[in-house]
């Protein structure tokens, strides 16, 4: 039985405690220097105790510590840390101030057995106000939908279950895995992002996860909710059905299949990328954000792939080739199959399928659905 709890915060740490019968457990979680409260409801802890055996407050505490440390990163994953190519975009503020996108990345899906059309929606995983404010056409489609389907489910239980997919299981710390020299470079880069930030909260990360996370940290620390999360929370509030189109293991399979050497190379390239952009005063995603707001899907897909190539080992590199297949192409097939099965099973409902914009480029989900016999039509107004 979980009793009343308290939550505290300061610039360097999140503190939470709860009471479980025999005594009080206190846990301190450092959370990337965030200056904001993270609510923890008793219902979350009850759920956690049930999930992890009912009588182990300490085990629950460890799992919630991991959850809090990963909260913002997983919001991106589930929408993608790892959300494929559109998730392959570092996050910065948009240079163009618009109320909402000029054209939505929105498509209508129709089939012979469907009583009503459903919708496909391309996202970009950031929280800029002009992005999270839907274009009127997308707003209308979302309002008509009875269910929202995103890349992976974004409820608390699903995020907790996702932890193990991105956390180390080799008994090493991150610093031990990457070596002293690279660990020193990582600390230098983290300090450049935020003087109060260091590698301690990331020691349980897989090496690829650290590499992938670097371009996102500044945005995460600002506390902005990415578009996918905003849609999920709206859907729950409005009583819509919510679901993920794939399992977390499919989201990160390509990354987890990289060898230790490839993951270390990935981190080295990511650190080079971050330092180079900082020295040049370059902000690659300003162009990408502006592109998303114009609704140019072809340019979005190109920018996404170019960015990931620069972050890894180049367009012709072996790491890039593996990730393009496993994180983009293979997942296009998984999502297209999910959409097909959902439309067959619930043909009388209106569904809103939201995924990273890169999945709707050439050879992606749209073309796969057309091959399955659906009519897919772009909606721009």
pLDDT digits (tens, 9 = 90+) for 276-296: 988 988 877 677 778 899 999
The closest of 82, 71, 8 to 221, measured between CA atoms, is 71
Does the pLDDT value for residue 219 go beyond 60? yes
Strand, coil or helix: what is 7? strand
- How high is the pLDDT of residue 334? 95
Of 16-20, 154-158, 221-225, the poorest mean pLDDT is in 16-20
Token pair recorded at residue 114: 């469907």
What letter does residue 38 receive in the DSSP assignment? -
Instruction: Give 99's Cβ-side CA count (13 Å radius).
Output: 2
Does the pLDDT value for residue 86 go beyond 50? no
- How high is the pLDDT of residue 345? 94
**Residues 38 and 9: beta-carbon distance below 8 Å:** yes
Strand, coil or helix: what is 167? strand
- At residue 53, what are phi and psi to the nearest 5 degrees? 110, -10
Return mean pLDDT, the chain: 77
The closest of 85, 94, 88 to 287, measured between CA atoms, is 94
Does the pLDDT value for residue 50 go beyond 90? no
From first CA to last CA, the distance across the chain in angstroms is 53
The residue assigned the tokens 């939505």 is 104
Residue 188 — very low, low, confident or very high, per pLDDT cuts 50/70/90?
A: very high
Find how far residue 141's CA is from the centre of its chain. 23
At a CB cut-off of 8 Å and minimum separation 6, what does 301 contact?
85, 357, 358, 360, 361, 362, 364
Instruction: Give 59's Cβ-side CA count (13 Å radius).
Output: 11
- How high is the pLDDT of residue 54? 38
Of 82-86, 103-107, 118-122, the poorest mean pLDDT is in 82-86
- Judged on CB neighbours under 10 Å (0-12, 13-18, 19+), 6 is exposed
Does the pLDDT value for residue 263 go beyond 80? yes
Identify the H or E element spanning 171.
none
- How high is the pLDDT of residue 148? 98
At a CB cut-off of 8 Å and minimum separation 6, what does 350 contact?
116, 117, 118, 119, 144, 145, 146, 147
Does the pLDDT value for residue 312 go beyond 80? yes
**Residues 148 and 231: beta-carbon distance below 8 Å:** yes
Of 65-74, 222-231, 369-378, the poorest mean pLDDT is in 65-74
Q: How many helices (H) and strands (E) does the chain have?
A: 18, 9
The residue assigned the tokens 């997983």 is 74
Average pLDDT over residues 230-245: 96
Does the pLDDT value for residue 56 go beyond 50? no
pLDDT, tens digit (0-9, with 9 covering 90-100), for 138-173 = 999 999 999 999 999 988 888 777 777 889 999 999
User: What's the pTM value of the predicted model, to 2 decimals?
Assistant: 0.77
The closest of 97, 92, 157 to 126, measured between CA atoms, is 92
Does the pLDDT value for residue 107 go beyond 80? yes
Average pLDDT over residues 2-6: 31
- How high is the pLDDT of residue 109? 98
At a CB cut-off of 8 Å and minimum separation 6, what does 67 contact?
74, 156, 159, 160, 163
Token pair recorded at residue 58: 């300490």
Strand, coil or helix: what is 81? strand
The residue that leads in pLDDT, 106 or 327, is 106
User: Angle at Cα 152 formed by Cα 162 and Cα 321, nearest 5°?
Assistant: 90
When mean pLDDT is compared over 71-75, 100-104, 127-131, the highest value belongs to 100-104
The closest of 235, 52, 252, 68 to 152, measured between CA atoms, is 252
Residue 184 — very low, low, confident or very high, per pLDDT cuts 50/70/90?
A: very high
Integer Cα distance of 369 and 40 in angstroms: 41
- How high is the pLDDT of residue 378? 97
Torsion from C-alpha of 184, 308, 77, 268, nearest 10 degrees? -10
- How high is the pLDDT of residue 98? 83
- How high is the pLDDT of residue 352? 98
Of 226-230, 235-239, 353-357, the poorest mean pLDDT is in 226-230
Does the pLDDT value for residue 110 go beyond 90? yes
**Residues 118 and 352: beta-carbon distance below 8 Å:** yes
Which sign does the torsion angle of CA 180, 185, 186, 192 carry? Answer: positive
The residue that leads in pLDDT, 96 or 9, is 96
Integer Cα distance of 36 and 31 in angstroms: 10
Does the pLDDT value for residue 2 go beyond 50? no
pLDDT, tens digit (0-9, with 9 covering 90-100), for 330-377 = 999 999 999 999 999 999 999 999 999 989 999 999 999 999 999 999
- How high is the pLDDT of residue 241? 97
The residue assigned the tokens 């002293």 is 180
């Amino acid at each position: 039985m979980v009793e009343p709890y308290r939550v505290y915060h300061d610039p360097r740490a999140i503190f939470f405690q709860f009471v479980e019968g025999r005594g009080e457990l206190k846990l301190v979680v450092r959370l990337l220097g965030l200056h904001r409260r993270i609510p923890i409801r008793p219902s979350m802890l009850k759920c956690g105790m049930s999930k992890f055996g009912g009588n182990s407050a300490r085990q629950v505490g460890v799992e919630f510590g991991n959850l809090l440390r990963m909260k913002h990163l997983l919001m991106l994953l589930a929408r993608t840390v790892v959300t494929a190519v559109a998730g392959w975009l570092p996050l910065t503020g948009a240079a163009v101030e618009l109320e909402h996108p000029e054209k939505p990345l929105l498509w209508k899906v129709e089939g012979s057995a469907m009583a009503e059309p459903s919708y496909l929606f391309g996202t970009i995983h950031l929280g800029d106000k002009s992005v999270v404010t839907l274009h009127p056409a997308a707003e209308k489609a979302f309002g008509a939908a009875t269910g929202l389907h995103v890349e992976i489910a974004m409820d608390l239980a699903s995020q907790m279950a996702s932890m193990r997919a991105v956390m180390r299981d080799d008994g090493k710390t991150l610093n031990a895995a990457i070596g002293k020299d690279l660990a020193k470079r990582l600390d230098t880069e983290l300090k450049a992002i935020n003087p109060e930030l260091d590698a301690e909260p990331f020691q349980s990360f897989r090496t690829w996860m650290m590499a992938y996370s670097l371009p996102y940290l500044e945005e995460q620390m600002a506390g902005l909710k990415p578009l996918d999360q905003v849609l999920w929370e709206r859907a729950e509030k409005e009583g819509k059905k919510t679901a993920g189109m794939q399992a977390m293991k499919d989201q990160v399979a390509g990354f987890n299949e990289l060898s230790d050497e490839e993951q270390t190379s990935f981190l080295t390239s990511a650190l080079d990328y971050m330092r180079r952009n900082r020295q040049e005063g370059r902000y690659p995603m300003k162009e990408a954000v502006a592109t998303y707001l114009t609704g140019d899907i072809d340019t979005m897909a190109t920018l996404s792939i170019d960015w990931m190539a620069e972050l890894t080992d180049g367009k012709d590199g072996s790491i890039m080739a593996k990730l393009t297949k496993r994180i983009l192409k293979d997942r296009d097939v998984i999502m297209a199959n999910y959409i097909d099965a959902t439309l067959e099973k619930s043909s009388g409902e209106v569904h809103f399928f939201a995924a990273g914009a890169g999945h709707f480029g050439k050879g992606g989900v749209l073309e796969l659905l057309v091959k399955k016999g659906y009519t897919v039509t772009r909606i721009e107004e």
